[in-house]
Structure 1
C-alpha cells in the first residue's frame, strides 16, 4: 500500500463528501423547521454510507472478475495510456458544465431536493427513504467513487485491504457532515450561522458542482496513470 494511493483515495472521498446526498441534504436536515434530531441525521448518514459501501463491494467484485480474466492487460502501457486519455477527457469535459455568468435557475435540482429534505415528516422511515433515494439518484454520477474503485481494483492489494479501504472511504465521505452535526450539538449558536452560509452557497452554486467533480476526478485519474507510466518507482513505493 503506497502513500500516493492513500492520498488519491482521501482526495476522492473528500470530494464525494461535498455531494448532494452526503453534505447538502444533511445541512438542510439540520436547518429544517421540523427540527430533525441528531439521531435521525446519524441514521441518514449511516444509511447512505452503507448503500455506497454495498454498491462499492458489488462493483469491486465485478471489476475484480474482469481484472482476473484480462490478466496483465489492464496494467500494460496501452491500458495506462487509455486511462490517461480518459482523465484528460474528463478534465476537458468539465468546461462543458461550467455555469455561465449570471445564470440562475430558481427551479433548480438543488431547490427541489431542499423541498424534499424539508418535508413535514421526520420519521425514521422517511429519513432512511430519503437517504436511499439520494443515493440512488447519485449512482449514475458517483464519478469520484468509481475512480476510487478503479484505483483499488488495479492496486494489487488483497481482498481484505480493498474492503478496509472501501469502508474507510465511506467513513471519510460522511466525515464533514458528522463534524457539522457534532458542532451543532455542542456549539449550536456558533455553528448555525455557518450552516446558514453553507446553505446559501449550496442554493446558488450546487447545480454547477458537476464541473468541479469532473475537473478533480479527471486530474486524479490522469495523475494515477502518469505516475505509473513515468514514475513507476514512486508509485510502487
Structure 2
C-alpha cells in the first residue's frame, strides 16, 4: 500500500474522529461527575464504536473485493465511461454547494449554538440517553451501537476509506490490518480527551463545558461539512486521470478544449 494512500486514509480517519459518535458523545460522557470512575465506561463505549466501524468496514471491503474479482473488467469499463465522470462531477458540485450553504460564518454558528443551548442544553436530546446508558454496561454498549447506526447515512469519509483500501490491491490480511488501524485512529482524539479529564479532574469542568457547548452547536451542521468533503473527493476523482473531465472540456472557449 502506497504512502499516498496511507496519508489519505489518515486524513479520512481524523475526519471520522470528529463525528458525534467518536468525539461529541465521549465528551458529553466525560462531563459527568466522577470522571475517574467514568474512565472505564468511556473506554467501553469507544471500544464498541470502534468495533462497530470495524465490522462494517469488513463487510464493505469483503463486498468490494468480491465485486472487483467477479466484475473487475465491467467495473473498470464503467469507471472509464465519460458519461459517468460528468454525472459524478455534477453530483460532487451539488454536494459542495449544499455543504457550504447555511450558517458557516463564525457569528452565525455561535448564534445557532447559543440558541440551541438555550432551548435544550448542549447535549440536545442525548442527555437522557447518556444518563440511562451509564447505569449498566449493556446500556452503554447499546448507546455505542445506536450512535454507529445513526451515523451510517453520513459515513462518506469511511466509505471513501473503504474504497481506497480495496483499490490498493493489498492482500486481504493487510487490508484488514489497515482497517483496524483506521478505526483506532478514529478514537484517538477522544482518548486524548479522556486522558486529560482523568489527569485534571474537576479542574477541567469549565473548559470541557465550553468545548461541549461549541461541539453541540456543530453537530447539526456535521452533515453539511461531510457532504462538502465528499463533494470535493468526487470532483477530484471526476477530473483526475486521462479520462477525467478537464478544464478544457468544461471551458473549451477559454482552455482550447474540443
Query: What range is the shorter-chain TM-score in?
Result: 0.7 to 0.9
Instruction: Report the counterpart of residue 98 of structure 2 in structure 1.
Output: 93
Instruction: Report the counterpart of residue 125 of structure 1 in structure 2.
Output: 138
Structure 1 residue 73: Cα displacement: 4.1
Instruction: Report the counterpart of residue 29 of structure 2 in structure 1.
Output: 29
1:157 aligns with 2:170: yes
Larger Rg: 2
| Residues 80 and 243 in structure 2, CA contact (< 8 A), matched pair in contact too | no
Can you list the C-alpha shifts for 1:79-119, whole angstroms capped at 9, x where unaligned? 883655554443233135x3474554435995112332233
> Aligned pairs, how many?
230
Q: Which stretch shifts more, 83-92 or 47-56?
A: 83-92
Distance 2:169 2:133 in 1: 48
Q: 1:87 to 1:169 in 2, by over 3 A?
A: farther
Instruction: Report the counterpart of residue 78 of structure 1 in structure 2.
Output: 81
| Residues 56 and 149 in structure 1, CA contact (< 8 A), matched pair in contact too | yes
Q: Which stretch shifts more, 11-20 or 179-188?
A: 179-188
Which TM-score applies when normalising by structure 2?
Answer: 0.77
Q: Which stretch shifts more, 123-132 or 71-80?
A: 71-80
Which sections of structure 1, spanning at least 5 residues, go unmatched?
Answer: 232-237
Can you list the C-alpha shifts for 1:194-228, whole angstroms capped at 9, x where unaligned? 32221010222221111111122322344355554
1:116 aligns with 2:119: no
SS in 2 for 1:122: coil
| Residues 13 and 169 in structure 1, CA contact (< 8 A), matched pair in contact too | yes
Distance 1:50 1:167 in 2: 9
Which sections of structure 2, spanning at least 5 residues, go unmatched?
Answer: 245-258
Q: Map 1:1-237; keep pairs closer than 5 Å.
A: 1-33=1-33, 35=35, 37-75=38-76, 76-78=79-81, 81=85, 86-96=91-101, 98-99=102-103, 101=108, 103=112, 104-105=115-116, 106=119, 111-119=124-132, 121-188=134-201, 191-224=204-237, 226-229=239-242
Structure 1 residue 70: Cα displacement: 2.1
RMSD across aligned positions (CA): 2.8
Distance 2:103 2:71 in 1: 40
SS in 2 for 1:118: helix
Which runs of structure 1 show a deviation greater than 6 angstroms over 4 or more consecutive aligned residues? none
SS in 1 for 2:195: helix
SS in 1 for 2:168: coil
